[in-house]
Amino acid sequence: SEQEIVTDVVIIGAGPVGLFAVFELGLLDIKCHLIDILDKPGGQCAELYPEKPIYDIPAFPEISGQELTDNLLKQAEPFGPTYHYNRMVNELEKQDKGDYLVKTDAGETFRCKVVVIAAGGGSFQPKRPPVPNIEDYENTSVFYAVRKMDDFRDHDIVIVGGGDSALDWTLNLAPLAKSLTLVHRRDSFRAHTDSVNKMRALVEEGKINFELGQIASLEGENGQISAVNIKNADGEKSLPATRLMPFFGLTMKLGPVANWGLNLHENLIEVDTEKFATSEEGIFAIGDINYYPGKLKLILSGFHEAALMAQAAKKIIHPDEKVVFQYTTSSTKLQKKLGVK
């Protein structure tokens, strides 16, 4: 296990609401680390509808999910948040002095005074393909995300799928693989045309292989695969493989949030509407993951919740500092923090 990372606040989830919380906390001199199981910021906006226009963000008559995400990142930038992607928060432990330890499935431990759960519709988790015993190889030789490219160097890699993740990783891993085979059930792809063209060019040059088919079974032992057997129109074919990456899309699951002893209301975290605090002192819940009477699962509600949560978090993190209400338009103090003065 690695060293403990010490920070004021850990935000679980880098969706639009988690991102805006960085800004509201930053104005109050509070530093954040954000953790998301996705490989990018933006939550549902970036994963489910990056190119669709949203029409009900105040003062943006029309903005796409990705543009909204990019703007939120830019707005948070002056406060220097640290983003940790491709990892799931699976444990939350209260310590004696009121600190929390937040642990991820990548082995990190964060120590903080306040935890902000901005987990939205739950954690995006990869769909497991229907292949017998695939669980036995997960995270040792079968991966649904790339944490370190070097773990794939000089391997016989098989990638399965036809979407952007499958194509992006095919292109990124091709230069360092011993061999790379992309498997898809059809010869048409959902991924961007540009990526598809680049992939076809690599096949043409003999740098990678493409196989039509579906994975049928795996061979291997002790967590290490040695071959991927695929079914296609001609029957079965065995591909030598020491790394397999299936990309079958994502589902949202509440995940570990349910195990943290917080009061829940139909799988959502109960909060008050003054502070958006949960039943545990120092743990807040904002955005789609929370419940209170009248809750609307809209981005604008999450933004408001982030602002009030930040005021309450301030009292826990800097109990001796008085918070003076200020406008960003007129406060030189706030403008200095934003780097515009």
Residues contributing to the site for ligand FAD (CB under 6 A) = 12-18, 35-38, 43-45, 48-49, 54, 56, 88-89, 118-124, 255-257, 287-288, 297-300, 302
Taking the least distance from each CB to ligand FAD, the nearer of 21 and 228 is 21
Supply 108's token pair.
């990190």
Please, what is the minimum distance in Å from the beta carbon of residue 174 to ligand FAD?
27
User: Sign of the CA dihedral 300, 301, 302, 306?
Assistant: positive
Q: From the DSSP assignment, how many helices (H) and strands (E) are in the chain?
A: 7, 23
Closest approach of Cβ 225 to ligand FAD, in Å?
A: 27
CB of 40 to ligand FAD, least distance (A): 9
Cα–Cα distance for residue pair 79/25, rounded to 1 Å: 9
State how far the alpha carbon of 206 is from the alpha carbons of 37, 276, 330, in Å: 34, 56, 62
Residue 44 in marked binding region? yes
CB of 71 to ligand FAD, least distance (A): 14
35 or 180, CB closer to ligand FAD?
35
Residue closer to ligand FAD, measured from CB, 43 or 161: 43
Q: Does 124 count as an annotated binding residue?
A: yes
- Is-contact 253 123, C-beta < 8 A? yes
Using a 10 angstrom Cβ sphere, with 0-12 exposed, 13-18 middle and 19 or more buried, the burial of residue 163 is middle
Is 242 or 301 the residue whose CB approaches ligand FAD more closely?
301
* CA proximity to 329, closest of 321, 340, 318, 319: 340
Query: Shortest Cβ distance from residue 125 to ligand FAD (Å)?
Result: 8
**96 annotated ligand-binding residue:** no
288 in a labelled binding site: yes
Q: How far is the CB of 245 from ligand FAD (least distance, A)?
A: 19
User: Does 83 carry a binding-site annotation?
Assistant: no
Q: Which is nearer to ligand FAD, 120 or 213 (CB)?
A: 120
Q: Which two tokens stand for residue 296?
A: 């609307």
CB atoms within 10 A of CB 313: 28
Tokens 């070097």 map to which residue? 150
Residue whose Cβ sits closest to ligand FAD:
120
Q: Which of 144, 143, 102 is nearest to 282 (CA)?
A: 102
Is there a contact between 57 and 45 (Cβ–Cβ < 8 Å)? no
Does the annotation list 325 as a binding residue?
A: no
Pick between residue 181 and residue 278 the one whose CB is nearest to ligand FAD: 278
| Residues in the annotated binding site | 36, 44, 49, 89, 124, 288, 329
| Residues in the annotated binding site for FAD | 36, 44, 49, 89, 124, 288, 329
